[in-house]
Amino acid sequence: MTSPEPTADQSLTSVEYRMREAGAWLQLEDGVIENLIAPRRVLEVSIPIRRDDGTRVRFTGWRVQHNITRGPGKGGIRYHPSVNREETVSLAAAMSLKTALMNLPLGGAKGGIAVDPKLLSPRELERVTRRYVSEIFAFLGPDKDVPAPDVGTNAQVMAWVMDQYSIGIGHAVPGVVTGKPLALGGSLGRDSATGRGVVEAASLACQTRGTSIEGKRIVIQGFGNVGMWAARLAVGWGARIVGVSDVGGVIASEKGLDVDALVIAKQQGIESVVDAGVGEVIARGVEHSADVFALPSDIALPCALGDAIDAREAGLLTAKYVIEGANGPLTPAADDVLNDRGVIVVPDIFANAGGVTCSYLEQCQNYAHLQWDEDEVNASVVSTMRSAFKRLHAFSEEHSLSYRRAASVLGVKALADAHQLRGLHP
Ligand code: NAD
């Protein structure tokens, strides 16, 4: 199979291509892979709200339950101007593969609104969130579909989701959402979980080559929840963060950026790392954000949005390991370029699964009305990542498959097995 031609909606093309490739490798019966690729349910909703100045405005939102054969839907809610149906379907499909690969008893879902949250006041953001939840209310529930934060949403947004849903049900339902504040039944360790998993994935990949991340030079695209925590934890492991980029541009330091100073500047509300006064600003503007991968480095962590690295960016990338913190940051064409150069790519459906693993632990705590301590949660996230990597690495070695292909095959196989066992209704 050759890589698909890039299209406007590369992310959907990529996940379909990878699932189809896995289905062919598994020699699934006719029609099975098409059934697994097709989303089970796609809901498009209109979200009218009144702005603070009294005028009306309308946004469009989606909630997609891609696969719910193995358990309730699970996936984030994204607020970003570029959110659309195809992207939401592709992110939901990736969640189906991720929960299957990680052996979590959950399905795959995703939601989002095409809106720039930075252009809304906090009260407008709350109104948008509440109206969105009321529109998708019938879809949600601890046993049906459980959202979480993603790009542009946070614990406060999850608190509004929980409240709006609970009002409809008539009592508090903390388990309808994960990534919520601790005071509402959130889990300790959730903030850092995705970044922790990304660093663990980098460490596991290095270990298979007889090395560690200590002393390694790391470049990161995206300094939000995932990128920031990955940077903090990697520094704790003795790595050097030599470049960081985000919507504002790229900063770099050969000696290693002062990550603590960057974190403080972020907490003080800077828009972009280029405004932090840390390291050297080597480019300004979102169009240069991928230039960070051209800096001399050992490990690259794309932790921003999908399709960040296509064949061109892959050609410039200097790292020997790429760990996908974001969902879908590499196109299949980029995979081909990096594969040919012997670069080890650890795919998103494993590398950023620390987040959904911790979300699952949050669901378990909510079901049991318990709160586990932070060390227990962190240890459980790490041990789940290690077990999944053991299976992934062994399968990749046994069948001489890249981690990408091995992960897709294992994910698709778990979904196909579940479908086969449950049978086809009617
Ligand atoms: P976030 O909103 O906290 O941060 C996003 C970061 O990416 C910001 O630094 C922003 O400046 C940067 N960014 C946005 N658009 C960009 C662009 N076009 N070019 C360069 N940089 C850009 O989001 P997050 O929660 O850190 O999520 C980042 C990625 O990780 C997303 O792909 C998300 O789906 C994925 N992910 C997140 C979690 C989680 O727990 N938060 C879990 C799994 C996967």
Whether 110 is catalytic is: yes
DSSP 254-297: TT---HHHHHHHHHTT-SSGGGS--SEEEEESGGGGGGGGGSS-
Ligand 1 centroid vs 317 CA: distance in angstroms? Answer: 20
Q: Which two tokens stand for residue 149?
A: 């934060």
Give all domains of the chain, ordered by start, each with its CATH number: 39-171 (3.40.50.10860), 193-351 (3.40.50.720)
The pLDDT tens digits of the residues spanning 396-414 come to 999 999 999 999 999 999 9
* Nearest atom within ligand 1 for CA of residue 359: 40
Task: Please give the C-alpha separations between residue 130 and each of 115, 153, 169, 337, in angstroms, as whole numbers.
Answer: 14, 13, 14, 44
What does the pLDDT average to over 163-177? 98
**E strand or H helix that includes residue 76:** strand 73-80
N-term to C-term CA, the chain: 34
Ligand 1 centroid vs 84 CA: distance in angstroms? Answer: 16
Among protein residues, the one with the nearest Cα to ligand 1's atom 36 is 326
Catalytic residue among 74, 98, 110, 266: 110
Helix (H, G, I), strand (E, B) or coil at 207: helix
Q: What share of the chain is helix, strand, coil (3-state, %, to 5)?
A: 50, 20, 30
The pLDDT tens digits of the residues spanning 176-211 come to 999 999 999 999 999 999 999 999 999 999 999 999
The pLDDT tens digits of the residues spanning 375-390 come to 999 999 999 999 999 9
DSSP secondary structure code for residue 183 in this structure: G
> For a pLDDT cut of 90, what percent of the chain falls above it?
95
Cβ proximity of 195 and 354 under 8 Å:
yes
Per-chain mean pLDDT for the chain: 96
Cβ proximity of 109 and 75 under 8 Å:
yes
Give the pLDDT score at 6. 43
DSSP secondary structure code for residue 5 in this structure: P
The pLDDT tens digits of the residues spanning 94-130 come to 999 999 999 999 999 999 999 999 999 999 999 999 9
Which residues form the pocket of ligand 1, taking CB atoms under 6 Å from any ligand atom?
A: 149-152, 194, 221-227, 246-247, 286, 289, 303-305, 325-327, 352, 355
* Bridge-based pairing state of the strands 321-323 and 344-346: parallel
Is pTM beyond 0.85? Reply is yes
Number of residues that make up the chain: 426
Ligand 1 centroid vs 184 CA: distance in angstroms? Answer: 24
